[in-house]
Structure formats: structure tokens, C-alpha cells
């Protein structure tokens, strides 16, 4: 199977689970802040006794997300840090396989979790974290403290929610397999409507700009993630749909993207739009059943081509928008929200005809004649300086409840992405995910790299600020 494209068959809490490390550059160098641990999770070298407590009907491996815990890394250290973070994801994937292969034995002999899964995983994570520390120290002159607190992982027991409000977990735990489960689905007609949105203020930018880049009819897929894991094959451990820029893979830099062919009808739009594929859980194998990102990473079933994809840029209810910089990278949602909690979760699930009812942590069961809808409203505030950040989040932000950007940020056109699927009613589909995230709907996410040329971006901003609807 090709890594960058594949032709498929035709088919119809605010939480870091242990130590949270924030790197602060300046003055005396780098320090780690906000370190805490969840009691009883056995993260800092948990003993076999701790594993015994967790091993009752456990469902998955739960590790601190080191990527989110490193919001500030010197530019010169980022390539090495990104590679080590990708290696840590691979370590979790491999540990999950060992856990899944031994699930019943671990239930009978909980010490096996420590000896066969958690202990080796902790050692490998500690080595990666040490290399991250060395890379940062080499550039910044100081080694971040507290990295060692991110090494330990635990086992998530069925029904155990992450600390915080718990809404990132449905409690079903995926104990019957790799997910999803019946409890991950809800009848959309039982969901209460919710249309609470900020009101437009005087001077609001009310226009829109739409771009048509197709539905991935040509079948471009890969399991890379050029934003979060540049230069690393299979950095996502799940398959993505791509529309727009066709040069996108893990090794595509700004120059390759600028020269890439695009599926967008507007010739000035070479942007990259991608998201995890949706599969039917019908027992049928896809072409990637024995490939990275597919079956090797616990993602199985027939990949579904969307029936419709809408890409629309909207304005700010609080004022005018400014141009976003070329090559701005935005990730919305959290691919690890099942174990991280829902602080960064941002996907919405609904059904056509019921889109005033939105779900974050459940898949919808749509009535006959209605189609499944995934939507993402990307961050609409930019720090005015950076096209990316070390954790790929802090250079952009969501607007406040009143529609205004946080201090130090400016409003930019907001990408609103709507993806529709014609799938059979009822449970039986799921998005791709990291194996240990059990295909939970709360892990859904979208990625965007702006590769609009300057003329198109000026036109987009003008349309939005003047209240027009343009294409």
C-alpha cells in the first residue's frame, strides 16, 4: 500500500494524567510547573500492588500526554523533540498490543501488567524523555525539570473516568475489545436542541468564504501527521482523509506544499485539510487491513467516502478579521481525549435535519433518511506572530464566550468544516484513532494548513469583513 495515497473499494477534562510540565523560557532558564499526579494510577513507577488494583476489568493504557505538557520548546530543539514524541506514541501503541494480547491473563494475574506492559513502557518513555531533555538543554542551556514525572503510565479500569468533569469518557471503557461499544452511540432524537451562540456585536464581520476541494473522491490517505509528527512515517497511527493539497505527507515542508497540486476549485487555495477516516464496522476488511495506520494499529473496516464536504470560513461576532499567515497550522480537537479528558475536545456529531443538536462524546444514531454529520469549528484567534507552536496549540486560541479574542490574540477567518456520511442507521461505524483511544467519538479532530496565496487571502478577508458570501 502506498504511504501517501491508496485507492479503496467503492463503498456507500482539563487534565494531564500525571505530571504536567510547562517550559518557561527566560531569566534563569527552563522550569517545570504544575506537576501533579492522580492518586492510585501508578504512574510514577507504580508497584505491582498498584497494578493489581487497576487490573480489574481494565480497558486501555492511560499515559500522560507529553506533547501537550511541552508548550514551549526552542525552535532548534523542535525537530528532535517532535521525533521523540512520535516515538512515545509508537511505544504506547506497542504496549497496547501487548496489553490486548494478555488482557484475560492480566485479569487473572495483575502483576503481569507491570512486568509485561507497564514496566517496559515506563523504561522506554523515560529514555525518550531523557533525550527530549538533552535536546532542549543543548539549545536553551537548561534542562527542563519534571520530565521524569511523565514516564509512568497506568491501566484504565472499565468505567473509570479521567479527573475533571469526566465528560471525556462515557464510562463504557471498551472492555469488550478495541471499541466502539453500544454505549458510545445515542439516538439523536433524544438529544435536546442547543443553539446558544454569541450574538453579533456592532462591527461584526458577518460574511463567509467557501472553498470547494472535493470529498477525497481520488482516495488520498495516509497515517502521517505532518503537523504533530513531521518527518515521521505513520506518526498518527490512524488513517486520514485528505482534500486540498495532494503533496501532503509527513515529509512535506512549506516549499513542497506551495508547489503541490490541489483538489480545490479555486486555484489560489493549496491548503491542506485532513481528518481521521470513518469506517463501517461491518466485518469487511479494507485494503489497509495489514498496514500501518490500518489493521496493524487496530483500525479496521471499510473506509467511507463522505457524501458531502463543506469548507467555509466565517467572521467574528465581535469585530473584523485579519488575514491568517501563509502556512499557519491548526489542530482542533484532541486525538487522545479519551485518556487526556475533554479539555481540548472540539468535534461535534449530529445528523442532517437535526443539526441544532450536537454531541461531543457520543456518535449519533440518525433516523431513516438522515445522514451522519461531523463538524469542526477551528480556533479563530491568532497570536500575530507564530505559524505553529511546540504543542501545536498555544499560537492559536478560541474566542471567549462573548466572541472576543483573548488578550494578545487577533481574530482571523474561522474554518468551519462539515463532513456528511451516508451510512446505515444505528451503531456500526467509528472514526480511526490511536489504538489505546478505543475509537471514542470524543477523540475526533481536524487539521488544517493554510496555503492560500496572498491574493486569495485578501479576497477572503474582504468578503468576510464586508458581509458578503463569496467563493
Tens digits of residue pLDDT in 239-271: 999 999 999 999 999 999 999 999 999 999 999
Residue 411 backbone phi and psi in degrees, to 5: -75, 135
Kindly state whether residue 121 falls inside one of the protein's structural domains: yes
Total count of domains within the chain: 2
Kindly state whether residue 4 falls inside one of the protein's structural domains: no
Do 464 and 353 lie in one domain? The reply is yes
- pLDDT bracket for residue 195 (50, 70, 90): low
Q: Which of 38-47, 187-196, 430-439 has the lowest mean pLDDT?
A: 38-47
Do 280 and 151 lie in one domain? The reply is no
Do 219 and 341 lie in one domain? The reply is yes
Do 248 and 337 lie in one domain? The reply is yes
40-55 burial, b for 16+ CB within 10 Å, e for fewer? ebbbbebebebbbbbb
**Domain span holding position 193:** 182-470
Kindly state whether residue 286 falls inside one of the protein's structural domains: yes
Whether residue 24 is predicted with pLDDT greater than 60 in this model: the reply is no
pLDDT of 282 reads: 86
Do 268 and 383 lie in one domain? The reply is yes
Kindly state whether residue 27 falls inside one of the protein's structural domains: no
Kindly state whether residue 12 falls inside one of the protein's structural domains: no
Rounded to two decimals, the pTM is 0.86
Q: What are the pLDDT digits (tens) for 66-124?
A: 998 888 899 999 999 999 999 999 999 999 999 999 988 998 898 999 999 999 999 99
Mean pLDDT of 457-462: 98
Q: Which of 14-18, 169-173, 183-187, 353-357 has the lowest mean pLDDT?
A: 14-18
Do 295 and 393 lie in one domain? The reply is yes
Kindly state whether residue 5 falls inside one of the protein's structural domains: no
pLDDT of 412 reads: 98
Q: Grid coordinates in use for 292?
A: 500501518
Mean pLDDT of 182-197: 90
Kindly state whether residue 354 falls inside one of the protein's structural domains: yes
Kindly state whether residue 8 falls inside one of the protein's structural domains: no
Mean pLDDT of 444-454: 98
Do 220 and 323 lie in one domain? The reply is yes
Do 150 and 186 lie in one domain? The reply is no
Mean pLDDT of 221-238: 97
Question: 455 vs 36, which has greater pLDDT?
Answer: 455
Q: Using CA atoms, how far apart are residues 434 and 276, in angstroms rounded to an integer?
A: 10
Do 211 and 93 lie in one domain? The reply is no
Amino acid at each position: 500500500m502506498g504511504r501517501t495515497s491508496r485507492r479503496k473499494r467503492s463503498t456507500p477534562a482539563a487534565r494531564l494524567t500525571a505530571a504536567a510540565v510547562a517550559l518557561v523560557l527566560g531569566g534563569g532558564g527552563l522550569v517545570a510547573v504544575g506537576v501533579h499526579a492522580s492518586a492510585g494510577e501508578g504512574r510514577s513507577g507504580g508497584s505491582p500492588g498498584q497494578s493489581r488494583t487497576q487490573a480489574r476489568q481494565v480497558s486501555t493504557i492511560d499515559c500522560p500526554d507529553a506533547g501537550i505538557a511541552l508548550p514551549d520548546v526552542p525552535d532548534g530543539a523542535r525537530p528532535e523533540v517532535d521525533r521523540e514524541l512520535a516515538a512515545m506514541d509508537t511505544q504506547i501503541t506497542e504496549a497496547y498490543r501487548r496489553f490486548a494480547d494478555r488482557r484475560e491473563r492480566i485479569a487473572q494475574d495483575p502483576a503481569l501488567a507491570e512486568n509485561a506492559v507497564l514496566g517496559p513502557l515506563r523504561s522506554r518513555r523515560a529514555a525518550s524523555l531523557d533525550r527530549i531533555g538533552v535536546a532542549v538543554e543543548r539549545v536553551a542551556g537548561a534542562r527542563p525539570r519534571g520530565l521524569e514525572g511523565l514516564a509512568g503510565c497506568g491501566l484504565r479500569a472499565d468505567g473509570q473516568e479521567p479527573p475533571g468533569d469526566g465528560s471525556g469518557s462515557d464510562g463504557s471503557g471498551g472492555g469488550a475489545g478495541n471499541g466502539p461499544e453500544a454505549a458510545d452511540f445515542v439516538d439523536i432524537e433524544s438529544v435536546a436542541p442547543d443553539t446558544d451562540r454569541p450574538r453579533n456585536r456592532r462591527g461584526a464581520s458577518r460574511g463567509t468564504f467557501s472553498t470547494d476541494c472535493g470529498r477525497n473522491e481520488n482516495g488520498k490517505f495516509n497515517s502521517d501527521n505532518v503537523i504533530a509528527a513531521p518527518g515521521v512515517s505513520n506518526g498518527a497511527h490512524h488513517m486520514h482523509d485528505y482534500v486540498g493539497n495532494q503533496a501532503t505527507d509527513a515529509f512535506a515542508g512549506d516549499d513542497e506544499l506551495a508547489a503541490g497540486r490541489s483538489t480545490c476549485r479555486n486555484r489560489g487555495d493549496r491548503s491542506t485539510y485532513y481528518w481521521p477516516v470513518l469506517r463501517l464496522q461491518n466485518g469487511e476488511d479494507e485494503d489497509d487491513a495489514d498496514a500501518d495506520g490500518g489493521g496493524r494499529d487496530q483500525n479496521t473496516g471499510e473506509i467511507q467516502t463522505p457524501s458531502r464536504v463543506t469548507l467555509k470560513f466565517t467572521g467574528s461576532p465581535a469585530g473584523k478579521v485579519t488575514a491568517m499567515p501563509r502556512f499557519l497550522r491548526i489542530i482542533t480537537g484532541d486525538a487522545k481525549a479519551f485518556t487526556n479528558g475533554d479539555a481540548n475536545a472540539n468535534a461535534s456529531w449530529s445528523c442532517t435535519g437535526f443539526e441544532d443538536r450536537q454531541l461531543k462524546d457520543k456518535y449519533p444514531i440518525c433516523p431513516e433518511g438522515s445522514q451522519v454529520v461531523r463538524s469542526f469549528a477551528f480556533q479563530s484567534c491568532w497570536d500575530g506572530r507564530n505559524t505553529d507552536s511546540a504543542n501545536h496549540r498555544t499560537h492559536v486560541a478560541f474566542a471567549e464566550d462573548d466572541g472576543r479574542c483573548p488578550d494578545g490574540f487577533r481574530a482571523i477567518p474561522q474554518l468551519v468544516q462539515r463532513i456528511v456520511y451516508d451510512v446505515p442507521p444505528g451503531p456500526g461505524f467509528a472514526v480511526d484513532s490511536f489504538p489505546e483511544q478505543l475509537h471514542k467519538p470524543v477523540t475526533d479532530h481536524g487539521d488544517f494548513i493554510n496555503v492560500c496565496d496572498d491574493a486569495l487571502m485578501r479576497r477572503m478577508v474582504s468578503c468576510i469583513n464586508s458581509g458578503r458570501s463569496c467563493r
